[in-house]
Structure formats: C-alpha cells, structure tokens
Amino acid sequence: MTLFRQIYALLFGLFLLTIASVAYVQFSETQGFLSKQMESDLNNASNSLGLMLTPVLEAGDDAGAETLVNVIFEGGYYQQIKLTWLVGGKQQVWNNAVRVDNVPQWFIDLNLFKTIKKQTTITSGWLQLATLEITANPGFGYQELWRVISDIIILFSILFLIAIICARVGLSWILKPLNTLSVHAKKIAERQFGPDMPAPKTKELKELVNAFNSMSAQLKQVFNSLDEEVSALRKKNLVDQVSGLPNRQYMVSRVNGWLSEPSTGALYLVKMDWLEEVHSKYGFQVRDETIRILAEKLQHHQDEISSSVIARIAAYEFAFLVEDCEHDQLTKYLQSLIRTVNKEISKSGCKPNEQFYIGVAERLGQMTVSDMLAQADNALQQAIKDEKVFHWFENTQKQLFTREEWRSNLNNAIKTRNFQFRWQPIQLCARDEICQRELYCQLKIGETTLHAGQFMPYVELLSLGTMLDRCLIETINENRLFERNYERVAINLTYQSISDTDFHIWLKQFLRASKYADRICFEIPEASVYSDLESCENLCKVIRDSGAHFGIDHFGRQFGSMAYLQSLRPNYVKLDQSLAYIEDNQHNSELCRALVNVAKGLDIQVIVTGIQEAEQLTRFTDLRVDAYQGFIAPPVNIDL
C-alpha cells in the first residue's frame, strides 16, 4: 500500500471513529431525553384523568367514566389504559398497538425504550373508588428518535464527503514532493538525470529532496566523467593531434569492420607532397596549420557528397573511406576531393595538380583488409609513376546488375518473398548460454542466391529499406521463427525504416498483435542515432511500449558524446567490430574499458562483436562484457 493510501486510510478511520462517537453520544442523549419526556407526559395524564374520574365514579356513572377514558386514550400516545372499580371488581382495558408512521419496523423492533407505566388510586376522601393504570405508547419516542438519527446521518454524510475530499486534496498537495521524488528516484534508477527538483516548504521533505538532488547530480557527474574519459582516450589514441582527424590505427580498424559487413564503397589513398614544400618555405608551424585547415575543408566539402571517414595515416598521406556508395557516386566524390585539395594548394602558393596523387580501390565482392589496402596502395604508386592526379585500380570483377536491374530484381524478390535465413548465436560470457540470435537474410534472384553484402547497399541506395524490413518481419512471423527458441531474435533495421513514420505506425500495430513481442530485438546503427536522434527516440518508444527490445549496433564507432544512451535507454549495445581489430595495447584496452563502463554505468548489457578466436575473447572478457558474437560461433542455416 502506498504512503498516500496509508495516511488517507488513517485519517478516514479517525474521522469515522469521531463521527461514530459523536453520533453515539447524540443518540444516547436524545433517547434519554425522550424517555423522560414520555414519563413526564404519562404522570400528567395520570393525574389529570384521575381528577376527572373522581366525581363520575362518586356518582356511580360507569358510562361517563368510560367516555372520559376514551377521550384521553384517543388524544394521546398511550399503549394501554386499565381501569379497575374497587367496588364490585369490574375492570376495563383499552389497548393500542405500537404503530408509527414513517419509521421502519426494524427500528421499532430494536426496543430502544423501556415500558413506562403509571398506576394511581382514585379516592373520594378516605374512600378508594378505583385503580387507574396507564402504559405509555413509545411511538412518539421512536418517531422523534428516528427523525433525529436521520438528520444526523445526512449531516454527517455530507461532512464526511467534504472531509474525505478535502483530505484527499490536502494530502495530494502535501505529498506532492514525495510523488515527484518517487518519479525522480525511478528516473535515477533508469540512469536518467533530469533537472533538479524544486525544494518543498516542509522541512523534512526539503532535506530529502536536497539529498536526492545531490545524489542525482553526483551520478550525472560520474556519467559525464565517463563520457569525457571516452572522448579523451579516443583523442589520445585514435586521433591525429595536428589535423584532428582519425589516425592510421583507427582507419585500419574501421576498414576491417567495413569489410566484415554488407556494404559497398571505396578506399582512397592520397599523398600530398606539396605539404613538404610548404614546410620548407614557411616552417613546420605553417605546415601544421595548413594541414589543420585542409582537414576542416575536406570534412566539410566531402560530407556534402557522401558521408566518409577521413584519416591522416602518415605525415603527408591521407585515407578516405567511403561506404555504401556505387561507382557514379564514388566518381563525384573523387572530383570533389581533387577540387578541394587544389584550392588549398593554390592558397599555399603551390601549383595545382602537382605533387598530389590519389589511388582509388573500389570494393567489389568479398575482400580482405590486406587486399583492399594493397589495391589502394598499388593505385597510388601507379598514379605517382604516371605523374597523374589519380589512378583507379582496375578490377576485373564485374557488377552483377545495373542499377535498374537491381531495382527490378529487388522489387520482384521482395514481393515474392524469396528469402533464405541464417541466424548467429550470441553467447553469454558468464555461462554457456545463448542470450539471443541475430538474424541474417539472403535473397534469391533467379537462380542466384545473394547475401546481404551484395544486395543491402542497393536496398539503401534505391530506398527500398522500409519495404524490405516490413516484408522480412512478416515472413519471419509467418514462418514462426519467433516460436522456435526461447532466445530473442535480433533484426537489423535499415536507415530508411528508422526515419519512416509510416513504418513506426505499422510496427506498433504488428507488435501489439504479436504474442511474441518480448522475443524480438531490433538493432539500430549508431550512425542513425547521430544523424536523426528524434526519429530514433520515436521508434524506440514504440518498441519499448509494445514490449519488444532494442539495441544500438556499432556502438563506439562514431566520434561523439554517449549522452544519447540516457534518452534512448537501449536494452543492450554491440561494440563496433572495429574495436575488436584495434591492436592490443594498454591505451586501447583503456578505451574499450571506458566504453564498456559508460554502458554498464547505465545498466545496459554490453555485447562485443567480431570475435574470431578464444584469445581475442579473453581480452574482452577481462573488460566485463556480458556477451560475445562472431565467427567463433558461426551463423546457422534455418529451414523454413
């Protein structure tokens, strides 16, 4: 029972006890008063009737005596009158049943009034003529007592209703700080640190609210400190101090993660020997400032063409990783890159298109990090040899389909639901159990079976993400995959679905109609959180309110604050695969540990991905991650 109800019940009981006591006292006094009034009335009636009967009885007029008694009997509240003549022993009795109008019989049957009798002897001088016995009728008492009780009940009922309403309103106002405190405490338990609560006027509650505000501020400071620690470690270990761009170590790990996922794009290696000329002319300070300005320009202009990762991997070498782009978009990116660099070359007093080389390696099919870096470096060396601005590595592998062929084939495959599924177990670190299974799909186009790495880039490019996600979820549900295991099934959502309001509405209806909503997990890439936080918040609210679960994929990939974890409150986060490829040293272990501590500090489950071997897993187990995923436990085909 809540504190409000306990206090409310106590006040209710005390007020009820008070009313009952007052009602009892009023009832007792009224009953006593009416009893005395009836006794007094009976004495008066007995004396009056005795005086009137004396001359009649002296004359021996029996008929006159009866007439006088009838007059008195019919005009008053008397239950019985008994007249006994002492001469001759004659006796006459008048009776009247106890009947009272507007008073319930059960009340009369309570016998609240004792029988009141008065017996007198009628005399003439020393001669006794008769005896007169009168019994009072309690009807008057019952009638008056019932009226008084009815008035008391009505009055006290009105007072009672007014009192409980006032008590409820008053208690609500008095205990409002406690209610606010309860809500605030729940938010703190969920690691949501909002603004401080206003201090109430009540001294005791004021001290309690101040204590909670202090505790909330300290926990918020702890989280902010962890967030700042992550930023500091990233800047220290993965960021080039001169340009402010990611360094070689980060780029290699990012390429590794990129190649392990379904995607397209290209890697550009750029050598800028003109920066050495700037150094020789103006000194290292001007050179470093030129590099910093160049980095800012590259980030600004290149992101307008396509999102990319730009890193400084050597003194005069830069790497550009462009993901999820087809060949035409990659060509535009290259042209923009050449224009941007040439502008800075001109500003530095050097000649454009000289001492500036680009090697481009486009991702086609399955490639390793070594293959990708080797192709990009070969292209760069060829550009230097030919003294050309750029060289595009020639890959003999051809695209499966043109863009329009992809559109037609994907639309047809989605409509006919030519899906094949695999799922990969995610193992708990503490015990040998599976906590969830991540679902992967393959599409069959004609006689060719395509994995996600081949078709997903074109799904995003052709804006078919929402259609694919809806069809995929419906197919999974129709084939009862949610019922096959007790573990939850994780489904990756596309960028388009995350920002599509219509998809949110459809998903809400689907989850509410599903019996297995609690077995479904939806994974949202961290890039979507940074690019469209509002849509992610709306989608996460739909998922949470429907009883399903969600997590953040590629956690730690983006360079930014982790404050979004407080507003989204995911059930779990998956560390980005690039973290699994970062070289094992003390500084990088500190970065991973800090990322884990940020999530664990908010009571969020942490899953490490990209685990290929036991030695790699041991390193992350020491960081207190909750579960792991990778080809150490490979995906398994699902029979539909």
pLDDT at position 582 is 60
Q: How far separated are the first and last CA of the chain, in Å rounded?
A: 50
CB 517 within 8 A of CB 510: no
Which residue is listed with tokens 């001669």? Answer: 127
Amino acid at 261: E
Question: Residue 137, Cα to own-chain centre: how many angstroms?
Answer: 72
C-alpha torsion angle, residues 102, 107, 111, 115 (rounded to 10): -10
pLDDT at position 443 is 84
Alpha helix (H) ranges present in 500-606? 501-513, 526-531, 533-545, 564-568, 577-581, 586-601
Q: What DSSP character marks residue 197? A: P
CB 323 within 8 A of CB 292: no
Report pTM. Answer: 0.69
Q: What angle do CA 633, 639, 640 make, to 5 degrees?
A: 135
Q: Which two tokens stand for residue 317?
A: 């070498």
pLDDT at position 586 is 58
Residues of the chain predicted below pLDDT 70: 1-4, 74-77, 97-99, 187-194, 201-202, 204, 212, 395-399, 581-588
CB 178 within 8 A of CB 3: yes
Sheet holding 127-136, edge to edge: 91-95, 78-85, 127-136, 117-124
Rounded-to-integer distance, Cα 276 and Cα 354, Å: 12
